[in-house]
Structure 1
Amino acid sequence: MLYSILSILIGVFIYLILVFKISFTISTAIKFILSIILVFDGLKLIKKIKSEYIGNLIFGIILFIDIFNFYKFNPSFGELILLYIGAQIFSSGLVELFFKGKSFSKNNIIKKETHFDINEKESVNLELSLDWNKLNITSNNEKSLKLINEYDKSIFRHNISFDNNNLYFEEKLRINSINIPERAKSFVYIPSDSNKIYLKIDSNVSDLTIDLFDTNSEYLKINSKASKIHLIPSSKRDSSIDINIQVSNLTIEIPNNVFVIINYIGDLSMKELNKFTQKDDSTLVSNNFENSTYTCKINISSEMSKISSFIS
């Protein structure tokens, strides 16, 4: 918006010179255009305080004073150069002393930590729907389910609900947002001694680390587009996982005591499944059957994605 107003003012200035024959010297015209540019650039400090913006605003005002000859101020070209340097040095010291890390704009960043008391005798259901998110799911030794998240409320639509061991968590981009946002950050901590865990994740353009190693996760469903996923199945029980990915990167880290069966269908995808044996066109099994205690069945539907695995 500022640049639109700037363009209009410069256009009006040129129009006045050419059409109405208002006389300005070339130096005055250059000073006028530069002063507008510098003042509008300096107004960026409303969003973020930087010495460069303050220096440009100060020097832009100096040029206006020079143009209209306020206080009989008539500096030479060399003096203007020195004034510009002085404005930048002055603003640099000013920011360093009083405004470092501050802003005049409203802070839209929300940081929140929420605890949910769960009934350990009943199963726990988690449903997450995310855009442009950096998600980390892991276990902890606490009795409650914990969610920590950080997001810009002007960019993300946020919703949390919890009832009877059912958690729904949504962090989606607002449709009307035109900003290029920083990723939201979310951390989910599941009590390691909780009962059966059922987890569903829908994600778009996200970075997911799903560490279920020390949880009683029985079922996981992932629907993901353009995301990076690092998945560690449960090492404490038999489990099943359904994965539907498009244009994504999936890495499966297999616990040493878990035998994995992968049923795979997909187009234009690349597989790097180390220590797996191909049983038929769509089924692969891990090579750790003799050392395994539990079994994890993974069904993967993939389009234009990369899938890799290793045994930890």
Structure 2
Amino acid sequence: MKIGAIIAIFIGIVIILSGISSIAISFWFVVQLIFAALFLNSGVKVFKYPSGEHLGSLIFSGILIIDAFGIWGVDWGFWELFLAMIGSYLVGWGLMSIFGNSKFMRRTPKSSRQNLSISRPLEADEYNVDIDANLTKVLLLDTQRDKGIDATLSFDKKSFSGSLNYNKERNSAVLKAKCKAKAGVSSVLTKSRINVELNSSPVVRFNATLDGVDAVLDFSNIKLDNASIRSNISRLSVVPSKLRDSRIDIDCEITSLNLRVPREVGVIIVHQGELNWSSFDELVYRENGYVSRNIETAKKVCQLFIKSEMSKLSIDWI
């Protein structure tokens, strides 16, 4: 700390001056200065972290300095200084009790929120988006602004660690968002959020690992090429692309999966594992899977490969 360095310089100067007989120095004098420095280092924290303990340390450090240099003729022994220390802390506690709520002494609470953001113009033909999150709300959709990518990550630093990175090489750009809960954290879904907005022009490849997440992935106005999604104990809503034929691979465990399919998009669903289907509307069973009735007339087709364990699937046509 800077205050500690200043105190060390002060004590060093005193010792140097004693060597040239400018100041009479003794062992007791050095001991008093060392303890005065320790108490002063603790005491100055009162201006940042107001408390009776810090104020008492500041008062007692002043008493030690006065006694060490014999200011006002003060020359106290050990027990007198010991009683002075007790008195200093009592005075510090009393003053903080009386004035601790004043504007001067009130400590401004420091926010634990961390907000990260990336905003880039349209500068790539391909986007690779990678999201790794747990206990987080995730939203992905097309941007309504004249931007290539707008991404934000918000989380509580006490409960989460996170990062948001963007890298561009030639005509390809990579966006990586990571938000992970710290050990022992649970039931804090509203404390972290990832929002990603993508331009509808570039081709997009998407990869996500989601654990305990509430996610909406709206690719309807995005040129999605392929997506790979792994989810566990999550609620997931996916909207296929209307702009490009696409493939979406979903590996889910104990997940509520909702497919919101635009009516101009045809779907082919191949499923493996246990899955509770709540709706077969507009679907026809064919070759170990299901296809939508509009598959012949659809403008675009989305192939969905779903591997699941103890999950639920619902399909809505929009």
TM-score strictly above 0.5: yes
Question: Of the two, which has the highest radius of gyration?
Answer: 2
Runs (4+) of structure 1 exceeding 3 A deviation are 102-105, 177-180, 268-271
Q: Which runs of 5+ in 1 are unaligned?
A: 1-45, 47-94
Residue type of the partner of 2:203?
K
Matched, 1:272 2:279: yes
Residues 1:213 and 2:220 aligned together: yes
Verify the 8 A CA contact 1:273 1:310 in the aligned structure 2.
Answer: no
Alignment of 1:253-268 (within 5 A): 253-267=260-274
Instruction: State the AA in 2 paired with 1:181.
Output: V
Question: Does structure 1 retain, via aligned residues, the 8 Å contact 2:132–2:178?
Answer: yes
> What is the CA distance between 1:105 and its match in structure 2?
4.2
Give, in angstroms, the shift of residue 235 of structure 1.
0.1
Which residue of structure 1 aligns with residue 250 of structure 2?
A: 243
**2:128 counterpart of 1:125:** yes
Offset at residue 174 of structure 1 (A): 1.4
CA distance in 2, matches of 1:168, 1:131: 15
2:313 corresponds to = 307
Q: Match for residue 196 of structure 1?
A: 203
Q: Is the alpha carbon distance of 1:159 and 1:149 closer, same or farther for their aligned partners in structure 2, counting shifts above 3 Å?
A: closer
* TM-score for the superposition, normalised by structure 2: 0.61
Counterparts of 2:263 and 2:107 in 1: how far apart (Å)? 51
Please, which of 275, 283, 301 is the counterpart of residue 295 of structure 1?
301
Residue pair 2:128, 2:206 contacting (<8 A) in 1 also: yes
Give the distance between the partners of 1:159 and 1:256, measured in 2 at CA: 37
Q: 2:235 aligns with which of 189, 214, 228?
A: 228
2:177 to 169, 177, 195: 169
* Alpha-carbon distance in 2 for matches of 1:237, 1:170: 27
Asked if structure 1 preserves the Cα contact closer than 8 Å seen for 2:116 and 2:164, the reply is: no
Mark the CA change 1:114 to 1:210 in structure 2 (over 3 Å): closer, same or farther.
Answer: same
CA contact (8 A) 1:131 1:204 kept: yes
Give per-residue Cα distances to partners, 1:233-256, cap 9 Å, x unaligned.
Answer: 100011000000000000101111
Counterpart amino acid of residue 306 in structure 1: K
Counterparts in 2 of 1:180 and 1:211: CA distance versus 1, 3 Å: closer
Matched AA of 2:160: F
The residue type equivalent to 1:125 in the other structure is N
One-letter amino acid of the structure 1 residue matched with residue 174 of structure 2: N
Once the two structures are TM-superposed, the CA of residue 107 in structure 1 deviates from its matched residue by 1.4
Q: How many correspondences in the alignment?
A: 210
Q: Residue type of the partner of 1:167?
A: L
Matched with 1:11 is none
User: Which residue in 2 is equivalent to 1:109?
Assistant: 113
Q: In 1, distance between residues paired with 2:260 and 2:107?
A: 43
Q: 1:70-149 maps to which residues of 2 (within 5 A)?
A: 105-120=109-124, 122-140=125-143, 141-149=145-153
Instruction: Give, in whole Å, the separation in 2 of the partners of 1:289 and 1:198.
Output: 23
Aligned match for 1:151, one of 132, 151, 155: 155
Contact persistence 1:269–1:302 (CA under 8 A): no
1 CA distance for matches of 2:107 and 2:135?
25
- Give the RMSD, CA atoms, in angstroms: 2.3
- Alpha-carbon offset, residue 133 of structure 1: 0.8
Stretches of structure 2 lacking an aligned partner (at least 5 in a row): 1-48, 50-100
Find the counterpart in structure 2 of residue 4 from structure 1.
none
- 2:55 is matched with which residue? none
Q: Structure 1 residues 118, 174: closer, same or farther in 2, change over 3 A?
A: farther
Taking the aligned partners of 1:293 and 1:180, their CA distance within structure 2 comes to 42
- The 8 Å contact of residues 256 and 312 in structure 2, kept in 1 or not, is answered as yes
User: Contact conserved, 2:275 with 2:313, CA < 8 A, in 1?
Assistant: no
| CA deviations over 1:275-296 (Å, ceiling 9, x no partner) | 111114x300011124311111
Counterpart CA distance in 2 for 1:271 and 1:180 is 27
- Counterpart CA distance in 1 for 2:185 and 2:296 is 54
2:301 and 2:276 map into 1 onto residues whose CA distance is 25
Q: Secondary structure at the match of 2:123?
A: coil
- Change beyond 3 A, Cα 1:212–1:268: closer
TM-score by length of 1: 0.63
Aligned mates of 2:114, 2:164 — CA distance in 1: 14
